[in-house]
Chain A
């Protein structure tokens, strides 16, 4: 069974139609990249998939593990295995990283009928995962995303992903704001999750991310539609020629 199946997906925000019939299938272990001009609907797709309020599906279907998620709330979808690394991670003043991460992990564990995590074990686990991503202990003590630099916020998203072990990860411009070294570290973190049961949808503007996280498929989203799909060479083509030719041809 496919991990994710998006069929003829139409979606609006209020009265504005943003997505105009998207078809996309992701299997376990695959990495799909989505590229496309600003405002083409990439982030909107990520929100529609994860069930954000205000994003209305007007037609089509989203199946996760063969089951429709359209009637599920955002938190239910998350517990069913969807994870979104935000393009703009949100600040939560006063909420410390450790308590936030634990709440997230425990929410999944409860859903799975497991006991909550052991406090001490969890701290160790988080510290180890954080070290791999160059997130230091001090940052874990601070309030979630408050005062983090752009790059720090992105690392923190990937840290959450590595702890939550989603079956479907959508990364929305995780590369933006990262310096060259951080890009490598974060990509290694993503690649460590790759394969096995996890499928990924990586939204980016830049080929350089895709040279670290090499995609199995590349899709071009423009005007709320996928206008072209191909393999990793499509990303190189875009890098060289821009979207103009592709959009015109579509």
Chain B
């Protein structure tokens, strides 16, 4: 309820422009442009990595060289010159170990401006943040607090040095190095990201979040996140992303792996607001992301919630491998496209465990000249006796120059599995719009209200602290889509 008023205010405030589009003027250290084994060795050395890590990267790179960019999505992806990208950029001041007091004030100011104050006193109560700026993590808050309960929350580069056993065991265990073109690329050049470890029986005492910011020009961001929840533990994690407004396209290829053991629960939420490009399709982030979780133990639960409003191109399918008996996978998604944006997003629910259950709720909103596709796979394997899936895909069209598509794949190898799929496509009706206008809301506010209503089922899955922000974003992303 608060959120609606906030939405209104936000829609009013915003001038129709991407408000995170500013650039931070800060001295950076970059590796030379281009991709080769030397660059990979450079990144590995910068991160002070052990030899095995470099080997792992090189292996991934050699795989990648033999792979081809996927072309099955309903996306028009311009050819990307991988030699014209910087694979490493770091604010000079971010080198070396740092406490919050030592973080460059320029960086702190940047995050303030983005609405993510890193000063622990000013922060949202109960939310710990890892802030990743281009290729490095610049600050991680509340670490000591978390350590008291045995929770590890740190940059992944640090985890590679400090917890090599966990990394060796789990990194690449859910998304194998050569899983796909972009995951292989990420494995070769990933620079930072977050590592989370929740020990047995621990309920993580606060929300964890990572805030990704691309600042440098022509720089790719390749972060890697790994979350491990041991038996009977719980964690809720949120990532947010923004980037400056630039005419060139920028590449973002992330990998996220989640491991949930017996009776563990991981709730992973994303509010993705990378710069979407202008309305003619100039500029914007190419967002090619591989996110996958495995419910290894019985009754484990993984829940993905995403609000995707940004990026010029989104290629992303957060998935669950439901291996444990009675394990649960959930995917709640809102994908908003406007202008010339293209999104091909959805999920994969792979049922292996007996009695495993999954729920998919996808809300696609297309406006302007955008194309918005839901692509989802539900696969019930032989051992998954009595598996159940419920899928609901709703598309909402704003205007008549956009497209919405639903591509569900269903594979059932066990006849006892029960799979339900519901899909609807609708428009914001003129009746609804007039009803709101007649009550005094202007057109943008009316659309925002109707669209937020349409997404309600998904929005209520977001952690409270972020729901307001997400509602605002939806309103802002649809600006200029009517009238």
Contact = CB atoms under 8 A, between A and B. Distances in A.
B454 A104 contact: no
B384 interface: no
Given A103-B449, A143-B453, A50 B438 contact: yes
B441 A75 contact: yes
Interface residues of A, number: 37
A53 B441 CA distance: 15
Contacts of B1: 96, 98-99, 102, 119
Given A75-B443, A107-B445, A94 B456 contact: yes
Interface residues of B, number: 31
A52 B457 CA distance: 31
Nearest to B457: A94
Contact of B449 (A84, A92, A119): A92
A74 B445 CA distance: 13
Nearest to B459: A94
B93 interface: no
B4 A102 contact: yes
Interface string A97-120: 011101110111011000010010
B455 interface: yes
Contacts of B436: 92
Interface string B448-468: 011011111100000000000
A26 to B, nearest CB: 18
Interface string B1-15: 111110010001000
A86 B435 contact: yes
B148 interface: no
Contacts of B438: 50, 52, 74-75, 78, 82-84, 86
A104 B453 contact: no
A73 interface: yes
Contacts of A103: 4-5, 8, 439, 441, 445, 449
Contacts of A99: 1, 3-5, 449
B437 A78 contact: yes
Interface string B146-184: 000000000000000000000000000000000000000
A50 B430 CA distance: 14
Q: Which of B2, B434, B439 lies at the interface centre, i.e. has the most chain A CB atoms within 10 A of its CB?
A: B439
A180 interface: no
25 contacts: A52-B438, A53-B434, A73-B437, A73-B443, A75-B438, A75-B443, A75-B446, A78-B439, A82-B438, A86-B435, A90-B432, A92-B432, A93-B453, A93-B456, A94-B454, A94-B456, A96-B1, A99-B5, A102-B1, A103-B5, A103-B8, A104-B439, A104-B440, A110-B12, A164-B439
Interface of B: 1-5, 8, 12, 429-432, 434-443, 445-446, 449-450, 452-457
